[in-house]
Amino acid sequence: MSFSVKIAKSRGMCAGVERAIQTVKNAILKFPQKNVYVLHEVVHNKHVVDDLRSEGAHFVDSLDEVPDNSVLIFSAHGVGISTFEAAKARDLTIVDATCPVVSVIHKKMNKAGLKGMDAVVIGHKGHQEVVGTIGQYTGDASKVHIIISADDVSLLNIDGDNAMFATQTTLSIDETRLTVEALKKKYPNIQGPKADDTCRATQVRQNAVKELARSCDLVLIAGSANSSNSNRLKEVALNEGALAYLIDDSSQIEISWFNNVTTVGLSAGASAPQYVVDEIVDYLKQNGASSVEEVGSDLKEKSFPLPKEVHL
């Protein structure tokens, strides 16, 4: 068994993820006398969460699990206004690690609620980012509508002259485009971005995987199963005709995947650490990889400043 490996240069942690992780690390250092709690997973990656837990962070699913006199960090996905207000009413040191790109969408939802507009959110119902986004709407909850596909648009019944839309930042740019086109066709005056709110990091990674999949028989995506952007990368590869698997690390690889495969592609979701990619490469070298090369354009990633509460 022998195959070549191509690794997408544009891969791995985005600026919002790096900011969220460093926020937790700094909080642990800055508040040594307090326990640091994170509401939900700070980012959707098993290894990142396990690493931070080993450093002293506690991950919870409810404010009720957070004791008084603790540090509370909101994850990169953001939370709704009611959650924020409930936390403020407690004896807690609050640090908001919401990705700045998501925060921009929150402000749009705030304004829509104040104006009583219908708000259409294109995203996966129940995903933490979507829950946080709709939780930013302060008006009549019946005016908030969550859709995902172009077919869902036909079921909408809103005032298109007093409506806006926003999208989850980690969606498939190709599928989201179809939904946005259907929405604008039905409601020409609806307010929103020209295309969608998919963040640049998501777009760059999806385009890189699209190019990768066109020259590979099999594509591996390093990322966790609950990571939306990682799942979208897998879907992009599949749509280009390659076999594709989403894996946390090499322990989930099955050697049979490489039967009759000549070229393996590798990329990583926006919350996957580089050391996981390195570990997968080592596995591939030990199990048939004859060559390894990086392909595509370099990732030009900007950075976001940390929340002032955790400046050291």
For the residues of 34-77, what is the DSSP string, one character each?
Answer: S-EEEES-SSS-HHHHHHHHHHTEEEESSGGGSPTTEEEEE-TT
Counting Cα atoms < 13 Å in the Cβ hemisphere of 55 gives: 20
Average pLDDT over residues 70-87: 97
pLDDT at 128 over 90: yes
pLDDT of 301 above 80 = no
283 residue type, one letter:
Y
Distances, alpha carbon 141 to alpha carbons 85, 134, 156, 265, 278, in Å: 18, 9, 15, 44, 46
pLDDT at 302: 81
The Cα 59–Cα 41 span in angstroms is: 6
d(CA 41, CA 51): 12
Q: For residue range 45-56, what is the model confidence (pLDDT) as tens digits?
A: 999 999 999 999
> Average pLDDT of 4-21?
96
Spatial strand order of the sheet with 57-60 comes to 57-60, 36-39, 70-74, 92-96
At 34 the pLDDT is 97
φ, ψ (nearest 5 deg) of residue 208? -65, -40
Q: What is the pLDDT at residue 20?
A: 98
C-alpha of 65 from chain center? 25
CA neighbor of 266 nearest in space, from 283, 255, 256: 283
Give the up-direction half-sphere exposure of residue 98: CA atoms within 13 A in the CB hemisphere. 23
Give the least confident one: 37-46, 209-218, 291-300.
291-300
**Residue 250 has what pLDDT?**
98
41 given a catalytic annotation: no
pLDDT at site 262: 98
Catalytic residue selected from 41, 129, 235, 240: 129
Q: What pLDDT was estimated at residue 244?
A: 98
User: What does the pLDDT average to over 111-131?
Assistant: 97
What is the rounded CA–CA span in Å between residue 113 and residue 269? 33
Question: What pLDDT sits at residue 1?
Answer: 82
The residue-averaged pLDDT of 189-197 equals: 92
- The mean of the pLDDT values for the chain is 96
**Residue-level pLDDT at 300:** 75
Give the pLDDT confidence of 243-289 residue by residue, as tens digits.
Answer: 999 999 999 999 999 999 999 999 999 999 999 999 999 999 999 99
173, pLDDT greater than 80 = yes
DSSP E strands in the chain: the ranges are 3-8, 36-39, 57-60, 70-74, 92-96, 118-122, 144-147, 163-167, 218-222, 243-247, 263-268, 289-295
The yes-or-no verdict on residue 211 having pLDDT over 90 is yes
